[in-house]
Amino acid sequence: MKILIFSASTGGGHKRAAAALEEKIKKINPDVTVEVVDGLAAIGKMYDKTVCKGYYLLATKTPKMYGKLYKITDRKNWMFDAVMRSNASMASRLMEEIEKHNPDVIIMCHAFITAMVSKLRKKGKLLDVKLISLITDYDAHRTYVVPNIDAYVLAEPQMAPKLIKEFGVDESIIYPLGIPTFDKFSDPSVKGEICAREGISPDKTTVLLMAGSFGVVGVLSFYEQLATSARDLQLIVITGKNEKLYEKLEESMKNLGAEDRTKLLYFVDNVEDYMHVSDLIVTKPGGLTVTESLACHLPMAIYSAYPGQERKNVEFLVGQKAAVMIDDENGADQIIELLNSPDKLREMKENCIRLAKPDAARDMYNLAMELSGHAPAEDTEE
């Protein structure tokens, strides 16, 4: 049994979902061959750079334009058709990569790759390969929906009606299994052990601030306001690979005399530890970040959502009372008010527990096995 997972580098979410799924499959059944490939990069360096750089520039530099394009291409019109034709035109290059791996199942974590794979099957290829599309946000955008796909995996059940009613997807191929996350986000953790290892007080109310996969300097303002207004708070700040932001925060932390109540971090590979010991996360609403927060049962205060899928993620989470949206001007006051409302914070935590899908990766593996005519293998996890 061979499973090929196509990821992409337009943000960190597609790659993290693919990596979490790969890790889980290897734990469950080491006899299954599973490989993760960056589908956009496999097509060609120029194409990959154009798509990824284009997404970055639109989302960060001209978010209103990105939001308009997101809305326009979510409807049947000439621009949607042009985008889909452009993606499908790269299908033959993707086929070269697929032939190297000869998979039984292909899982696509990006809409553009899904369109290419659909085109290949329309041409009579991949007829013996099962095709699964994973939507890594909490909105089903039209560019994900193409014919010739065997299964759509959704983040949550409320996305299904849009696929069925607006896009005409057969309900029988829709599976709201959730977005895969690493086991370490949903595994029970002992807060005291993590705090001792990381040098964090287990007794203080703790807020985790994250800059996002592209880095957001706006988090500096929230930090300074919180460090000044709520001196009893313990603050964990993760800047990602944003050296400029890290340096600014380091300087600010010293100027405010907040070194003893701030843990400032650059890029880390154990973000789940900081989620497990926090009472609230302040973050942008990327699909994987919010899914990982749900897995850790961590209420969210969300800032600076790009128009498009991030806004849709916010709408879902706020509607489910698992998150609140804060603004740039009064964000710190809103955070402090929430922390001073234990009943509301407790309700948010309970809703995170309700929404979490800790078995998403396992369920996707079982789906892949079922579609390809294999019984799920005996679980070999320790």
CA–CA gap between residue 369 and residue 127 (Å, rounded)? 16
Is the pLDDT at 374 greater than 90? The verdict is: no
CATH 3.40.50.2000: which residues of the chain?
2-181+358-371, 184-355
Q: What residues contact residue 182 under an 8 Å CB cut-off, 6+ apart?
A: 16, 19, 20, 23, 272
**Residues contacting residue 280 through CB under 8 Å, at least 6 positions apart:** 206, 207, 208, 298, 299, 300, 301, 335, 338, 339, 345
Chain center to CA of 328: 23
What would the mean pLDDT of 355-382 be, rounded to a whole number?
A: 86
Instruction: Inform me whether the pLDDT recorded for 88 exceeds 90.
Output: no
pLDDT band at residue 212 under the 50/70/90 scheme? low
**Are residues 208 and 238 in contact, defined by beta-carbon separation less than 8 angstroms?**
yes
pLDDT band at residue 381 under the 50/70/90 scheme:
low
pTM to 2 decimal places: 0.92
Residue 259 CB neighbour total at 10 angstroms: 11
Fold of 184-355: Rossmann fold (3.40.50)
The region of weakest confidence among 13-17, 31-35, 317-321 is 13-17
Q: What is the DSSP letter of 341?
A: -
For residue 159, what pLDDT is reported?
Answer: 95
User: Where are the extended beta strands (E) located within the chain?
Assistant: 2-7, 33-38, 105-108, 130-134, 151-153, 174-175, 206-210, 234-238, 262-265, 280-283, 300-302, 323-325
Mean pLDDT to the nearest integer, 100-117? 95
**Mean of the per-residue pLDDT values for the chain?**
91
Lowest mean pLDDT among 193-197, 352-356, 365-369: 193-197
Closest CA to 37 of 87, 86, 108: 108
Q: How far apart (Å, rounded) are the C-alpha atoms in residues 377 and 65? A: 47
Q: Which residues of 289-300 are buried (b: 16+ CB within 10 A; e: fewer)?
A: bbbbbbbbbbbb
Q: 2-181+358-371 adopts what CATH topology?
A: Rossmann fold (3.40.50)
Better-predicted residue by pLDDT, 330 or 25 = 25
For helices 78-88 and 111-122, what crossing angle results, to 10°?
A: 70
- The tens digit of pLDDT for each residue in 149-201 reads 999 999 999 999 999 999 999 999 999 999 999 999 998 778 889 999 999 99
